Amino acid sequence: MTTSNPKTIAILGGTGKEGKGLAYRWALAGYTIIIGSRTTDKAISAAEEVIGLVGKKVHVKGVENTIAAREAEIVVLTVPYSFHREMLEFIRPEVQGKLVIDVTVPIVPPKVTKVQMPPEGSAAQQAQSILGENVKVVAAFQNISYENLLSGETVDCDVLVTGTDKEARTLVLDLVKDTGLFGLDAGPIENSVVVEGMTSILIGINKQFGVHASGIRITGISR
């Protein structure tokens, strides 16, 4: 894994809800953000929107997905699960030797409150399998609603970080801290099944309580 420019983060599908929320938080923390999209104009508009949300001079630009992936050492994936495999195959050459943070939850409509994992075990394991051993895949933020990210308020939900490589998990824990959230090392990538599955449970809880952003908090630890 190369970390020559760890201050630049590409967010593929960053024109969407979750990606924009993360772009906002990291831009606020001083990172250079590259928003990726299938459409350059859409990426540029999203970048302008994030700059407006932050309300101060920040470095955010918008480009096509493969260009974004090429220009950053840290690449974040925030696309709907139905396009997960397609996107991974598309960007595979661009992310070799890099850190890929997968935020994807394998939500399969219409049963969005039911845990439905892919044959690989989880979306993160699917990403690792498609991208290959030369890419450090770390899964994070799957339980954090975009509304919480965009609110700019303290978020009452922890971030569980999983991935095969401990050094990569540690790097992502620093990135989590810089969003203003509390992250915990949740172990190897196989454990991502629990975190991704939790999102379906949270969607069900949201429905029961008529809210949009329920979350999880780990208790019994000092922060």
Ligand X SMILES: NC(=O)c1ccc[n+]([C@@H]2O[C@H](COP(=O)([O-])OP(=O)(O)OC[C@H]3O[C@@H](n4cnc5c(N)ncnc54)[C@H](OP(=O)(O)O)[C@@H]3O)[C@@H](O)[C@H]2O)c1
In the complex, which residues of this chain contact ligand X (CB under 6 A)?
13, 15-19, 37-39, 42, 78-81, 83, 86-87, 103-105, 107, 142, 144-146
Give the position of tokens 């495999």. 85
> Rounded to whole angstroms, what are the CA distances from 7 to 30, 50, 89?
8, 17, 25
Tell me the closest approach of the beta carbon of residue 189 to ligand X, in angstroms. 16
Strands 136-139 and 159-163 come out as antiparallel
Q: Which is nearer to ligand X, 168 or 215 (CB)?
A: 215
Q: Which is nearer to ligand X, 42 or 59 (CB)?
A: 42
Comparing every residue's Cβ against ligand X, the nearest one is: 16
Task: Determine contact, residues 66/90, Cβ cutoff 8 Å.
Answer: yes
Tell me the closest approach of the beta carbon of residue 6 to ligand X, in angstroms. 22
Q: Which is nearer to ligand X, 133 or 194 (CB)?
A: 194
Q: Which is nearer to ligand X, 22 or 99 (CB)?
A: 22
Tell me the closest approach of the beta carbon of residue 23 to ligand X, in angstroms. 11
Name the β-bridge partners of 160: 184
Query: Phi and psi of 191, rounded to 5°?
Result: -75, -10
Q: How far apart are CA 112 and CA 24, in angstroms?
A: 27
Tell me the closest approach of the beta carbon of residue 37 to ligand X, in angstroms. 3
